[in-house]
Copies of this chain bind each other. A is one copy, B any other.
Amino acid sequence: MAKKINKIAVLTSGGDAPGMNAAIRAVVRSCSYYNMECVGVYRGYQGLIDKDFEDLTARSVRNIINKGGTFLKSSRSEEFKTKEGRAKAHKNLIDAGVDALVVIGGDGTFTGGLYFNKEFNFPIVGIPATIDNDINGTDYTLGYDTALNTVVEAIDKIRDTASSHNRLFLIEVMGRDAGDIALNSGIGAGAEEVLLPEEDQGIQRMMDSLEKSKKSGKTSSIIVVAEGEKSGKNIFQLAEFISQSHKEYDIRVSVLGHIQRGGSPSCFDRVLASKLGVGAVEALTDGKTNIMVGVDRQKVVHVPLETALKEDREFDQELRRVANITSV
């Protein structure tokens, strides 16, 4: 039988995402609600090794639900990739009387958690938090909805200039392996085309689309480009490439960059973080481990970490079709 949980540690790791603070808050308050103690670990897995701990109460997490970033800070720890590092981390948790760990982050975070669990059989539950939405087994990851709003608001601003000047803008958004941000923000911002990591023929489609626009007399255009699209060209080379056959456009490039990771979380992300934080603590008190809490149809579900890490998310062909039709 699983040991009774009296004390839970929580950490954030990997790239920060809006909603991480809201998730920490929900973990802490759930502990308080169920009369358990909660320990915040600073700087992710590195903080486990350095014993950078702080006791957290329901009041410690007041007024953070609407803050971007993570007050526990995050990091990528090389030391935690070593056996010695993990052993040190484990000892610190045991010394502090911690019975279980909630890790908030993306695939790197979950991989670290899996290793740790396998070595020490230490109860671990993950909360998916990454703006890229590239985790298997959950409809949404924390921060993704907020990032989409940030991106469409930025493109709305750029469109003001595009329309005023008859320009073509190439706008780079985050997404190395997953085109979710590019595809959704492209539809949401009314982009004429979208280049995605999941498609090989994107550049050909884009050129066709520009040819069509030329004929129909369109004078301004927005093309959303995911970081990881497959043309083999960077965004400045893409601009150069287009300019060779489209002298009619004044072409500009905008790389949205780090603004996409920050900002006050949307209501959607705050509610999701609250659900998942509560769900993570309840999963642990239920004796679960090595799972991620995700959402399926707005309900909390338990997904084995191995499943969450599988790289076989299906590309949403339906949504691609919607993009094609609405940009006609």
Contact = CB atoms under 8 A, between A and B. Distances in A.
Contacts of A277: 326
A201 interface: no
A2 interface: no
Contacts of A79: none
A74 B165 contact: yes
B184 A271 contact: yes
Given A156-B262, A157-B261, A163-B69, A275 B16 contact: no
A270 B152 contact: yes
A152 B267 contact: yes
Contact of A187 (B161, B255, B274): B274
A256 to B, nearest CB: 8
A319 interface: yes
B69 A160 contact: yes
Nearest to A20: B164
A328 interface: yes
Report copies per complex.
4
A174 to B, nearest CB: 12
A148 B267 contact: yes
A317 to B, nearest CB: 11
Given A158-B258, A165-B74, A270 B188 contact: yes
Interface string A224-239: 0000000000000000
Which bracket fits the contact residues of A? 35 or more
A296 B299 contact: no
A73 B166 contact: yes
A230 to B, nearest CB: 23
Given A33-B325, A270-B152, A275-B319, A258 B188 contact: no
A203 interface: no
A248 B317 CA distance: 45
Interface string A282-293: 000000000000
A136 interface: no
A209 to B, nearest CB: 13
Contacts of A249: none
Contacts of A40: none
B326 A159 contact: no
Contact of A65 (B190, B266, B319): B190
B32 A328 contact: yes
Interface string A112-132: 000000000000000000000
Given A68-B157, A68-B161, A160-B262, 18 more contacts: A16-B164, A18-B160, A29-B328, A30-B325, A69-B161, A69-B164, A73-B164, A73-B166, A145-B268, A156-B263, A156-B264, A157-B261, A160-B261, A188-B267, A268-B268, A271-B322, A274-B322, A299-B318
